[in-house]
Amino acid sequence: MYKKSKLNSDLFSLKFLYYGEKKLFKIRKLVNYLYFQQHMSLRSISKQKHLSKDFVGKWTKSPDQNFYEDNRGWPKGKRKQWDKEIESKIRLVHQALSDNPRQFYTGATAIKLEWDKRFPSVTSPPLRTIGQIFADLQLSSKRRRDRHKGATKYLCYPEYTIYNILKERVAEVDFIGQKFINERTEPINFTSFCFKKEPRLRYFQRVEAQTADCFIQECNKFFNKFERPDYIKVDNCLATIGSASGKRNISKTMQFLLKNQVIPIFSVPRKPFSQASIEGNNSVFSRKFWNRIEFKNTQEIDQKIEWFNKSSQEYCCYKFPEEKKVKQNNFTPKIYFIRQVKGDKESERAYIDVLNEKIYLRKPYIHYFVLVEWNLKEEKLYIRFEKNEKSKIIKTINFTINSNLKF
């Protein structure tokens, strides 16, 4: 075993190596060091560093291996020179996509999809290779990305529960508003649909207004044209959640979804990141469709949004389900609410707001997120807390449906 000073020196060298040399060389040397100097087993190294057993075995044969073996096939420090024919094909495909008014995606993924259509007898390069060539040819434009690191995980946002424990198909739906065209004072409104999990899909439609009737109408069209999801995740707007003052009401939108055996999930109020997928979907709509074209009238919008939807469907490689879902006889109507626990200044208690009712929790949950399940058959509320991808019920209370409501 190394003495402490020697060990610290070697760890410092490894830290320097991490930042100063090629990543592959660093990993080779680190694996060898952990095996011969730290006496870790091959299995432990493979599991801890997320490396294959073959890789670990190859670089633990002796303590004095050559870690800088380079079989890349081109000089060190130089970028790989791609075949000119490949570069030419990529430029050709990109130009064709850019010139086609019915195509709205021109990045590396779109190029790969179009390549496979145009040159079926020629294997397309890997997506990463296309991206690198794309950048070398200066065809890509850098886009600023806002990063919000770790907040949702740190505050236990129930992402894993929604998309893995509930398991079934979850669609996200939203309104897009505040759009205007020249010589028209009335705002233009849209509905936006997306599936985060495979098979992915983006879909948009112009609607008359942001109302419950328009929401229901577009959902009906979506169910008939594509598929009926098991869950729909939406914002807490009046068109979806209903009354801003009535307590324990089931809105017109909720009743429509439950009648179609679709369970609504309401996101965190005034927290856009809790609808991250649909917000990203709306960003694509703005960048690639709305901001790209100067529309003259609504007829042009309706025509070109169909082109955009078709282009998006091809880009996402969406495949229709083989069979339509049949309604279940044992369906249990439920409604979910994602809420962030707040602190009541007057009573100094922790609480969440569910359909204009305050539900009190223990103080340690303040600032954290919870997932609330309202079982309408039992008329009970189950409050779940997710930690390390495990969901636990932390409170159960009776929560009766408003007696004035016909449901």
pLDDT for residue 49: 85
User: Residues 6 or more apart from 93 whose CB is under 8 A from it?
Assistant: 111, 114, 115, 118
DSSP E strands: which ranges in 247-312?
Answer: 263-266
Apex CA 66: angle with CA 62 and CA 71, to 5°?
130
Query: At which of 75, 102, 136 does a domain end?
Result: 136
Within this chain, do residues 89 and 38 fall inside the same structural domain, yes or no? no
Query: Cα–Cα distance between 280 and 266 in angstroms, integer?
Result: 18
In Å, how far from its chain's centre is CA 224? Answer: 24
**Residues 121 and 158 placed together within one structural domain of the fold:** no
At 300 the pLDDT is 95
> For the chain, which ranges sit under pLDDT 70?
1-22, 70-82, 141-152, 274, 406-407
**How far is C-alpha 79 from the chain's CA centre?**
33
**Residues 188 and 302 both lie in one domain:** yes
Claim to verify: residue 54 and residue 131 sit in the same structural domain: no
Same domain, 110 and 237: no
CA quadruple 140, 146, 151, 152: dihedral positive or negative? negative
125 shares a domain with 252: no
267: in domain: yes
Q: Is residue 314 part of a domain?
A: yes
- Domain shared by 93 and 227, yes or no: no
Residues 119-162 have pLDDT tens digits of 888 888 888 888 888 887 877 766 555 554 456 677 888 988 88
Residues 384, 237 share a domain: yes
- Round to whole Å and give the CA distance between 301 and 204: 11
Predicted local confidence at residue 14, as pLDDT: 44
Do 35 and 129 sit in the same domain of this protein?
no
Q: What is the pLDDT of residue 281?
A: 87
In this structure, is residue 25 part of a structural domain? yes
| Tokens at 233, concatenated | 């995740």
| Number of domains present in the structure of the chain | 3
Same-domain status, 248 and 370: yes
Matching residue, tokens 């469907």 = 313
- Domain encompassing residue 24: 4-58
User: Nearest 5°: phi and psi at 263?
Assistant: -90, 125
**pLDDT value, residue 3:** 43
Is 142 among the domain residues? no
Q: Is residue 67 part of a domain?
A: no
Residues 155 and 129 in one domain: no
**Are residues 37 and 117 both part of a single domain?**
no
What is the C-alpha separation between 61 and 161, in angstroms, rounded?
A: 44
pLDDT for 359: 94
